[in-house]
Structure 1
Amino acid sequence: MLIGLVSDSHGELENLKDAAWKLAYNWHVKVIAHLGDECEDVDAIRDMRLEIIEVPGVYCQEYQDPAITNRVLKEFEGQRVLFTHTAEPHKNDLPDDPDPRQLALDRKVDVVAFGHTHIPEAKVENGVLWVNPGHLKNSDKKGHPPSFAVLDVDKDNARVLLIDLKSGDIFDSCDIENA
């Protein structure tokens, strides 16, 4: 199953639409996860008939609303995927928000998809795949161009591809096999 990952759109709706279009029509994803900061931006792609998973950024007012889940844990094809804005606890977490690092250490997740840093990365740490799709801003002070990710999961494997928004080129990948 293919899942699209985007993060940190910060009001760059055209870039979000471009990423969603590429994910839906080039990569054939059926699910897109927006990993925070301006999660309301997903309203711009709701008409695409995709399942949308959204988590708020730690500085969004929604993050402090106990009725809104800050960290979403879902299972796809036997892989447990945590969708979160941060890869670790944050001072703005609510008391019941799980700690992504502890979930990984306890092997309660297979993949942690996060945003926040605006730095795209894909790595395996202690048997858990960690992925940050980067950001969707036209320019960013950290120097990385806008990007998104494709997460491919099945019962035995999780693989992620990091993709440059403008060129469509894959610039990094990482995968794990579950024994």
Structure 2
Amino acid sequence: MKIGVMSDTHGNLDAMNEAVRIMIGDHNVEAIIHLGDYFNDAEAIDAAGVQIYAVPGLFENAWDDPTIPRRKKIALGGATFLISHTSHKTSEDRPDDFDPMSPKDLSDVDAVLYGHTHKMESSRNDINGTLYICPGHVKSDLDRNMPASFCIIDASPGEIMVRFYGLDGEMLDNAHFTI
């Protein structure tokens, strides 16, 4: 299953829509995940037939809304993902928030998808064995000295392939993991 993942749009709907166009038009994703800052931007995604998932980021009012989960577990393409704006607990976490580093909370999770850093990266945590994937940001062409990026995950039972793309549709990096 192909899954488009983006983070940190910060209201830049033009850039977000370009990422969505590439995800759907060029790669036929079946789901899109928005990892916050600003997760309400995901409401503007026009993608008939594509599942949309979103969590709030630290720099938006929804983060403080107790009716909106800060982190969610979702199963797609034979893999289970914890979607979160951060890769770790924060001082603002509620008691019922999943901990993206806790072996107990990650026992059924194959990969943590997170944003916040604006830096595209993917790696396996040596301590808990979980994959951590950050798609980068879609805030502007360049932010924090990093180009805009998003990723497409191809998930199937036993493996995850991650491909990072710029807003020009060019692949920036890729990685393959067994799960």
Task: State the TM-score, normalized to the length of structure 2.
Answer: 0.91
Cα 1:123/1:48, change in 2 over 3 Å: same
Greater than 4 Å deviation, 4+ residue runs: 103-106
Q: Which runs of 5+ in 1 are unaligned?
A: none
- Length, aligned pairs only: 177
Distance 1:88 1:2 in 2: 26
Q: Percent identity?
A: 33
Comparing both structures, which one devotes a greater share of its residues to helix? 1
SS state of the match for residue 101, structure 1?
A: coil
Which residue is 2:15 aligned to? Answer: 15
Paired residues for 1:9-48 under 5 Å? 9-48=9-48
Which residue is 1:68 aligned to? Answer: 68
Cα 1:68/1:102, change in 2 over 3 Å: same
Letter aligned with residue 19 of structure 1 = A
Task: State the TM-score, normalized to the length of structure 1.
Answer: 0.91
**Between 14-23 and 59-68, the greater mean CA deviation after superposition:** 59-68
**Between 121-130 and 12-21, the greater mean CA deviation after superposition:** 121-130
Which residue is 1:132 aligned to? Answer: 134
Distance 1:129 1:172 in 2: 16
Letter aligned with residue 78 of structure 2 = G
SS state of the match for residue 173, structure 2?
A: strand
Paired residues for 1:135-154 under 5 Å? 135-154=137-156
Which residue is 2:178 aligned to? Answer: 177
Contact 1:122/1:172 (<8 A) preserved: no
Q: CA RMSD in A?
A: 1.7
Contact 1:81/1:110 (<8 A) preserved: yes
